[in-house]
């Protein structure tokens, strides 16, 4: 059983309008790699040009924020759900 990646609403237009996708992956980074390979247009919205996850992109494995685990090296097992959750920021100047 693969891991399931939940795609947030604003990114679905770049992912064939899908709400989720499933991949065989042993880490979060591997799953996101498969995701952005299948849907290449997602990449610039999730990662900086240096290949780092953007600061307002939050990734959870089941209910755990990967920032408090092993970040993109966080291991995944069959049946896990990876959620991409936006945070929102802005301001003048």
Partner 1 sequence: MADEPTLWISGHLAEKIRAHGAETYPHECCGALLGRDAGEVRGSDPAKYPLTPEREILALYPLVNRRNDSPGNRFSVSSEDVLSAEKEARAHGLDVVGWYHSHPDHPARPSAYDRDHAWPWYSYIIVSVQNGVPQEMTSWRLNDDRQEFSPEGIEIRHRAAV
How many residues at the interface with partner 1, by CB under 8 A? 23
Question: Nearest 5°: phi and psi at 9?
Answer: -45, -50
93 belongs to the binding site for partner 1 (CB under 8 A): yes
For partner 1, the binding residues in 26-65 under the rule CB under 8 A are 41, 44-45, 55-56, 58, 65
Residues 63, 18: contact at Cβ < 8 Å? no
Cα–Cα distance, 86 to 64 (Å, whole number): 15
Closest distance to partner 1 from the beta carbon of 67 (Å): 10
Pairing relationship of beta strands 64-65 and 20-23 according to DSSP bridges: unpaired
Cα–Cα distance, 73 to 76 (Å, whole number): 9
Q: Which of 1, 9, 50, 68 contacts partner 1 by CB under 8 A?
A: 9
Closest distance to partner 1 from the beta carbon of 19 (Å): 12
Tokens of 34: 């498969």
Write the binding mask 62 to 91 for partner 1: x where contact by CB under 8 A, - elsewhere. ---x-------------------xxxxxxx
Question: Nearest 5°: phi and psi at 51?
Answer: 85, 10
Q: Which residues bind to partner 1, rule: CB under 8 A? A: 8-14, 41, 44-45, 55-56, 58, 65, 85-93
């Amino acid at each position: 059983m693969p891991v399931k990646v939940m795609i947030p609403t604003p990114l679905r237009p770049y992912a064939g309008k899908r709400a989720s996708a499933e991949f065989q992956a042993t880490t979060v980074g591997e799953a996101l790699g498969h995701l952005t390979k299948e849907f290449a247009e997602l990449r610039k919205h999730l990662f900086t040009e240096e290949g780092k996850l953007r600061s307002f992109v939050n990734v959870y494995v089941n209910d755990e924020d990967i920032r408090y685990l092993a970040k993109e090296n966080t291991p995944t097992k069959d049946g896990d759900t990876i959620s991409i959750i936006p945070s929102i920021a802005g301001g003048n100047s």
